[in-house]
Chains A and B, each alone.
Chain A
Amino acid sequence: MSETTSTAGPTTASMAAPAEPGDVGKAAQLAAAELDATIAGIEHRLTEWAADTGAALAAMSGKVTGTAVDKLIRPVVEELVQLPGGYAAGAGFIANAGLLGPERSYIAWWQGPDLEHVDALANFSPNSISRYVKAEWFRIPVETGRAHVTGPYVDFLCTDEYVLTFTHPVFTRPDGPVAGIVGIDVTVQRLERGAMAALRRIGGRATLANADGRAIVSAASDIDAGDLTAPNEPCAQYPVGRTFTLCSDAVGL
């Protein structure tokens, strides 16, 4: 029995292992497409959520309250965070100044399977917006009106973990100001579990990096998440999601 298993392992592996250079490219492309589908899936879900949230806020016709925002956001966060095999460690909505009051923000953000309410005390502060305006995950989607990925970074506000935060602006009118942002936190740890197998199929030094070349997950033992990396030319590079790059052979800087 144990003998059968031990021979079955290598055989499957050698079957999957490409024999010709053309197959190398094909297997790698499949693995890269798998990772792209994961990240693009998160980005797509966020875009959809931003549109739904914008429409629901617009329907409140100027009478937006904290309670109403909680009621709108919490069920979605619950679904995202508790989805079996899902990627969200936490998610939520943060109001831009103006939606609930001039200097006021409002945070409706929950994390973990028990839906722990994040930064809830800030909602009682009249100048709560000051807490978020400098943060990249809030500032960039608000300023540019476009989706953004922050990190990997150590998230002091919520999880105290090493995370990526995907954020998307929310509009109540197509030409209007940004009403707020919706976002999803994904821990690097979770991505590592989801990406390592695919990376190893591409190669021993295959690395998923953010737009700055900072490693998120790498198959190489000398490249840690957070290290700056560069592609070891000539190597294959594949776009993953809107901003990440998968490089078949990376070197640490």
Chain B
Amino acid sequence: MDGIIEIITQFAAQEPAIFALIIGIIGAAVLSAVVNVGAMLVIWADRKVMSDFCNRFGPNRVGGRWGILQLGADAIKLFTKEDVIPSGVDKGVYVWAPILASAGTMLVAAAIPFGALHIGGKDYPLVVANMDISAFYVEAALSIMSIAVFMAGYSSNNKYSILGAFRGVARMIAYEVPMGVCVISVAVMAHSLNLVEIVQSQTVWNAFAQPLGFIIFIIALVTDLGRVPFDQSEAEEEIICGYSTEYSGIRWGLLYFQEYNNFLLGSILMALLFLGGWNGPIIPIPLLDIISPMIWLLMKVIIVIWFIILVRASLFRLRIDQVTDLGWKWMLPLSLVNLGWAVIIGSYFA
């Protein structure tokens, strides 16, 4: 194992450009595969956990009694459906909105470490673009989805869609700010904006070091993902399907899928920033010790996903004015309080 790493390191030192290119291509391929398959599993979990919580069965026909292949069947159906573009829409914007949403998600995924490999007493983080400001970059790239939502709603030429789009943007603005402040608070304690370094610096989980920030971040995250109680932009009882009312077939599928991509990535971000990422005791079993950081991260991510799913089944939806009220009047001041706390604690222990 050491030999292989030595060869790779040597190659990287000799031909840095080619090395970066190869790593980039491999990374992009692995990334899209991992993220999209992961999101499919998240959709499956969403349906299955929800139905369990509601005393239903959920998907249980396609792929055995757990309905594991249901998503594949749904995807095939969406791909083969007629692609309807209504005549009144702003066609360019309408067509590009789902693509922008997908691109935005992949931009987020590029900077997120999906865990680390523990080789030879050292952690090698699995991240495609290990940039210095990755925490801030990820938080910003997550909000590209809101732009796509606005494009989709605005171009649809539909009253329900435009209301959904407006609601989506109003909500995004109100919650991106406290979310950003929370990321800064974490960075202040870690003395870095790099997600890998933030994880490595968490000897105590940030959830315990700054509990207020933890709560604000998870509320802002649920808002960002547009799930109950913050799903005003697609509240079907009020505005049919919100911004995606006029979409059908695979374009609708893409928009829908990106929500779950973001769900997965947001949950990973949550685990990285506040739950100690892949930190945890190394399992002293050969081979398992290599991936043991990933096992820890996976467990934390699953808990976050599970929590967000259960929130959907148990809470009422807030009204849009209550959402913005909560965002500006409570979340933002409290996140600033949390920033002050982080500065004090961070400089005391520095």
User: Are A and B genuine complex partners?
Assistant: no
Q: Which A residues are within 8 Å of any B CB, using their own CB?
A: none
